[in-house]
Structure 1
Amino acid sequence: MQILSKIRESRTGKGALALAAGLAFATSAASAQVSSYGDKQMGDPAGDHLPAVLTRATIVQKLNTQIPLDGQFIDETGKAVRMGDYFGRRPAILSLVYYNCPMLCSEELNGLVGALEMVKFRPGKDFDIIVASIDPSETPELAAKKKAFYIKRYGHPETANGWHFLTGQQPAINALADATGFGYVRVPGPDGKLTQFAHASSIELVTPDGKLSQYYLGVEYSPKDLRLGLVEASEHRIGSPVDAIMTYCYHYDPTLSRHSLIVARVVQLGCMITMLCLGGYMIVMFRRDRKSEKAMPVPNWKNVNG
């Protein structure tokens, strides 16, 4: 019995050790998604390997730039508004997306809501959230649906007056995108029509007087960074540029006439693959242990003791 016990301990110990090592790897990879305030890492430059169209779909950080407060938009209720209507009292979080985006824009807004859930400040009281569509064909009705979805997800319906989902015409969109440094390019969708946009993902913090205070790139945001950034923006302080590690939304490469680059949540995907591999490894090892135990002859303890 001691022999069989040692065999089991040896094999299961190896499996547990491998699982622990894999979990440590996955945990370290997951923790690398969110950097501490002011401690962002520079990634390997990949601009030379991107499709040509993505050289125009990038983020140029224009800190301390005044956004056009006279820009005319339509809010989610169908009311005509000026961008300046949301400034003068408190800072704002600005996000340029398009509501029919099949992938990245939803990830960006989900990441924002996830971070805000862990920040004590509240929209409508301490800051505003301004989401502006880059697609002039989108409607206030669609904007209203998006607003309702994300307020429900946020879980604080009393903050609805602090969320503003806007649509507009091309001149106002271009002026806001140019001031923000938000590059995007129309590209064909799967049906060949120019219904999608290649773009990168970012949110911007804006001071109460409408100047760009801080950029956060990607689709996940540190609650600590966001909280401190809002404090600095409320005090009219301008942050420093962050490392340009881009997350792109891109579904179709017109030069190749096929779908091409889709990059989002790369670290999460790596963690998921790692865990699946480890799970498969453990299943194989446990099955092998069972087969070995069945094949091993049972000692005749009467003969041994006799």
Structure 2
Amino acid sequence: MKFKLLLLLELVIVRQTNALTPNELNQITFEQKIGQQISRDLAFRDSDGGRFQFRVNSGAKPTLLVLGYFHCPMLCTFINNGLIAAMQELRLDVGRDFNVVDLSVDPRETSELAAKRKAEYVKLYGRRGAALGWHCLTGDETSIQKIASETGFHFAYDPQSNEYAHPSGVIVLTADGTISRYFFGVNFSPDELRQAIVAAGKNENGSV
């Protein structure tokens, strides 16, 4: 089953990146930067059109950060659905115990599209109060590239397909924006996710 899923993901990437060279494709990966603090004063747009800064809007809670884009035809849906499935197994709640941030790497995307995706994710998650702690963000290219660099998220734009090739996974941040752990792929262990959230809530390294 895992082999079939990996093969499917490879086919998704190849299908969406026809114009990228093999060298460019090889660079599409996560570079782990455990202990790196992201720039918390960068300004993004929340799904309601308001200003979002990690320093202001994350509160004193850990954050699960997902980088991708909202018109992504397949992979981003796999990632978010896998994350939601894992979170549904937890006694911890989005909005009460931790935040979720979906950040688009496409500077052309709008708050309206972000709001549509947020509504879908919150509905699928199905727990009261989740909307308060779930943020779907858009931003300018400078801020996006800064966060991507700080988190080791290497991606590329393919003008032929008008899509982005990017790695799949989730980044766990402490309340002060320090990278505590990475989860890779599209399926996530609920128990390991819980441990990582708890560790990040204590400002600890959540890696195993």
Matched residues in 2 for 1:51 and 1:229: separation?
34
Shift of 1:158: 2.4
Q: What is aligned with 2:187?
A: 220
AA aligned to 1:224 is D
1:183 maps to which residue?
154
Amino acid at match of 2:179: L
Q: 2:199 aligned with 1:232, yes or no?
A: yes
Kindly report structure 1 stretches of 4+ aligned residues shifted beyond 6 Å. none
Shift of 1:159: 1.6
On the 8 A contact 1:76/1:143 being kept in 2, the answer is: yes
Letter in 2 for 1:115: A
Of Structure 1 and Structure 2, the greater helix share is in: 1
CA deviation after TM superposition for structure 1 residue 94, in Å: 0.5
Percent of residue pairs identical: 39
Q: Secondary structure at the match of 2:33?
A: coil
Q: Which runs of 5+ in 1 are unaligned?
A: 1-28, 34-49, 242-306
Q: Which amino acid aligns with 2:192?
A: D
Decide which structure has the larger Cα Rg and report it: 1
TM-score normalised per structure 2: 0.87
One-letter code aligned to 2:22: P
Who is 2:78 aligned against?
A: 107
The equivalences for 1:110-121 within 5 A come to 110-121=81-92
Alignment match, 2:13: none
**Residue by residue, what CA displacement relative to the aligned partner does 1:139-182 show, whole Å, maximum 9, x if unpaired?**
00000000000111111142210100000000100110000000
CA distance in 1, matches of 2:207, 2:77: 27
SS at match of 1:216: strand
Which of 164, 175, 178 is the equivalent residue of 2:135?
A: 164
Please tell me the residue identity of whatever aligns with 2:71: N
Structure 1 residue matching 2:73: 3-state secondary structure: coil
Residues in 2 aligned to 1:84 and 1:54: alpha-carbon distance in whole angstroms: 33
Q: Confirm or deny: 8 A CA contact 2:62 2:201 kept in the other structure.
A: yes
C-alpha offsets along residues 248-294 of structure 1, whole Å, 9 cap, x if unaligned? xxxxxxxxxxxxxxxxxxxxxxxxxxxxxxxxxxxxxxxxxxxxxxx
What amino acid maps onto 2:29 in structure 1?
Answer: T
Is this contact kept in 1: 2:104–2:137, CA < 8 A? yes
Matched, 1:127 2:98: yes
The code of the aligned residue for 1:200 comes to P
Distance 1:154 1:239 in 2: 24
The alignment of Structure 1 onto Structure 2 pairs a total of residues equal to 191
Distance 1:157 1:145, change over 3 A: farther
Structure 2 regions of 5+ residues with no counterpart? 6-20
In the other structure, the counterpart of 1:208 is 175
Are positions 1:65 and 2:32 aligned together? no
- 1:71-90 alignment runs, 5 A limit: 71-90=42-61
